[in-house]
């Protein structure tokens, strides 16, 4: 029983350490040694739980993707109008200068080159666009948004604004660029007035 608890905690520590390192350094910059040091786990423990770095990275990416979807759903699935839910998503608290832990993986050539590592990234971004498109459609059906808007285009614009806002903020070393992009998009989406 005690060894099972120790094994489980070592596995969890390895996944969490990998998640942080992937966000901070990317796949190439995340060495097995760095993971082991950050997790306080030995090489034997790492290879007992995972076949290697790609297997551990996949577990970490999947967990990050799952958490990102859950955080987005807490806001998007909330109460209020379509605009209010999209606004809440855009204005929710984020670590803007660190960027998106999923979106940043799209700039990692080793992740993009691997169908397996890229899959949770693609699935998460596809899910987000689909969820947002559904909310925009609700707003269109309720007469909240201008009839010429296309849900898939608006959803892609929301995701692109957030991801691009992260890039602009990181480049400037300030959240101002992110905030400006979000305010601009919200102004464009502002519900129709009777």
What pLDDT sits at residue 45? 83
What pLDDT sits at residue 47? 84
Distance CA 152, CA 126 (A): 11
Question: 73 is written with which tokens?
Answer: 């759903």
Residues 6+ apart with CB under 8 A from 52: 32
What are the extents of the domains in the chain?
A: 2-189
What pLDDT sits at residue 175? 97
What pLDDT sits at residue 127? 98
Q: Which residue has the tokens 């076949």?
A: 51
Range scoring the smallest mean pLDDT among 1-10, 37-46, 133-142, 166-175: 1-10
Q: Can you name the CATH fold of 2-189? A: Tetracycline Repressor; domain 2 (1.10.357)
User: What confidence tens digit (pLDDT) does each residue in 147-186 have?
Assistant: 999 999 999 999 999 999 999 999 999 999 999 999 999 9
Question: Are the CB atoms for 56 and 116 separated by under 8 Å?
Answer: no
Nearest to 88 by CA among 79, 101, 99: 79
Question: Are the CB atoms for 120 and 65 separated by under 8 Å?
Answer: yes
Distance CA 6, CA 15 (A): 14
- Provide the pLDDT confidence category of residue 114 given band limits of 50, 70 and 90: very high
User: What confidence tens digit (pLDDT) does each residue in 51-109 have?
Assistant: 889 999 999 999 999 999 999 999 999 999 999 999 999 999 999 999 999 999 998 99
* pTM across the whole model: 0.89
User: End-to-end distance of the chain based on CA atoms, in angstroms?
Assistant: 66
What pLDDT sits at residue 8? 52
Residue 147 CB neighbour total at 10 angstroms: 7
């Amino acid at each position: 029983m005690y060894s099972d608890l120790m094994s489980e905690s070592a596995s969890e520590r390895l996944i969490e350490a990998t998640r942080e390192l992937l966000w901070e350094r990317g796949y190439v910059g995340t060495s097995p040694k760095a993971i082991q040091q950050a997790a306080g786990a030995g090489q034997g423990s790492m290879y007992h739980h995972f076949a290697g770095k790609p297997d551990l990275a996949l577990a970490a990416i999947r967990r990050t993707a799952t958490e990102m979807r859950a955080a987005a759903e807490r806001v998007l699935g909330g109460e209020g109008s379509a605009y209010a839910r999209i606004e809440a998503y855009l204005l929710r608290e984020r670590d803007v200068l660190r960027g998106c832990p999923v979106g940043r993986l799209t700039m990692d050539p080793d992740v993009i080159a691997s169908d397996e590592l890229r899959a949770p990234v693609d699935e998460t971004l596809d899910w987000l666009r689909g969820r947002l498109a559904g909310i925009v459609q609700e707003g269109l059906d309720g007469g909240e948004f201008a009839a010429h808007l296309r849900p898939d285009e608006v959803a892609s614009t929301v995701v692109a604004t957030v991801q691009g806002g992260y890039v602009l903020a990181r480049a400037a070393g300030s959240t101002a660029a992110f905030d400006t992009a979000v305010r601009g998009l919200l102004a464009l989406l502002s519900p129709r007035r009777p």
